[in-house]
């Protein structure tokens, strides 16, 4: 689901509901052969459908939901069983087995490069973000804008990252035990680090994040956080909200 479309499937078609229309208009894309859909992702007006095809081969079919036309129908080579497949508006990345190199292609299917990686963090726009052993405290940022160049390495410091989340404008949020960091992927730069000075180490805080806000709940209060919008004390817990809207950001890809 996106802000404009909701997609659901049956055995022979992908059905789309237009959430912008008052009548919730529906339309569909019918498969030419029976396929088992394993995942669907909507990026802007483009629907990416990952499915199993002949002899369990993996394919990616892309549809333009605004124009209601099929864009690409790719059969990814040598992908059997349950591979790693991730897509963006510009790229399709995949690998067959754990420990193998990550293959990067344009959405047209053109091969760009292969990357040695330990953990894939994000595929967004023209960028692939990942870590590789043994430097798991660094992130690697590769871009299809310069496909022949190697990745840019960004040192994140000695702490162990708990979770990651991409938000609008090519910003990556990294959650740590007692802080979070915001990284500009396009500039390969840490914009700032927010530390929780009065953090209760006996209990890890709960957090959620979207393109506008970072919300964290813990035993707080969270002191010394200059970008904190407000804090609420409720039932022995503190809720802190951090506002991203004033951060200069790149155009959304």
Q: How far is CA 116 from CA 9, 98, 119, in A?
A: 34, 11, 10
Per residue of the chain (253 residues), give pLDDT as tens: 777 888 888 767 888 998 887 778 889 888 877 678 888 888 788 998 888 766 667 788 899 999 999 998 888 765 555 567 888 889 999 887 666 789 999 999 999 999 998 889 999 999 999 998 888 789 999 999 999 999 999 999 888 888 888 887 788 989 887 788 889 999 999 988 877 655 555 555 667 787 777 777 766 555 544 454 444 555 566 677 777 666 544 333 3
d(CA 188, CA 115): 18
Q: What is the pTM of this model?
A: 0.76
Contact (Cβ atoms closer than 8 angstroms) between residue 102 and residue 111:
no
């Amino acid at each position: 689901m996106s802000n404009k479309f909701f997609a659901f499937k049956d055995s022979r078609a992908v059905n789309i509901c237009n959430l912008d229309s008052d009548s919730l208009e529906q339309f569909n894309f019918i498969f030419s052969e029976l396929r088992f859909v394993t995942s669907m992702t909507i990026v802007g007006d483009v629907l990416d459908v990952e499915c199993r095809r002949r002899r369990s081969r993996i394919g990616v079919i892309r549809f333009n939901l605004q124009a209601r036309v099929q864009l690409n129908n790719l059969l990814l080579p040598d992908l059997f069983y349950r591979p790693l497949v991730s897509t963006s508006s510009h790229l399709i990345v995949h690998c067959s087995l754990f420990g193998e190199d990550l293959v990067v292609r344009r959405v047209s299917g053109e091969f760009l490069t292969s990357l040695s990686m330990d953990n894939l963090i994000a595929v967004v726009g023209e960028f692939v973000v990942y870590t590789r052993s043994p430097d798991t405290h660094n992130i690697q940022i590769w871009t299809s804008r310069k496909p022949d160049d190697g990745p840019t390495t960004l040192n994140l410091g000695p702490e162990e990252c708990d979770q990651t989340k991409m938000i609008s404008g090519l910003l990556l949020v990294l959650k740590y035990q007692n802080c979070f960091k915001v990284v500009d992927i396009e500039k390969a730069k840490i914009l700032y680090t927010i530390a929780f000075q009065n953090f209760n180490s006996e209990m890890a805080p709960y957090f959620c994040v979207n393109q506008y806000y970072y919300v964290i709940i813990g035993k707080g209060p969270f002191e010394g956080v200059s970008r904190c919008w407000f804090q609420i004390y409720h039932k022995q817990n503190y809720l802190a909200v951090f506002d991203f809207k004033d951060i200069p950001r790149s155009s959304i890809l």
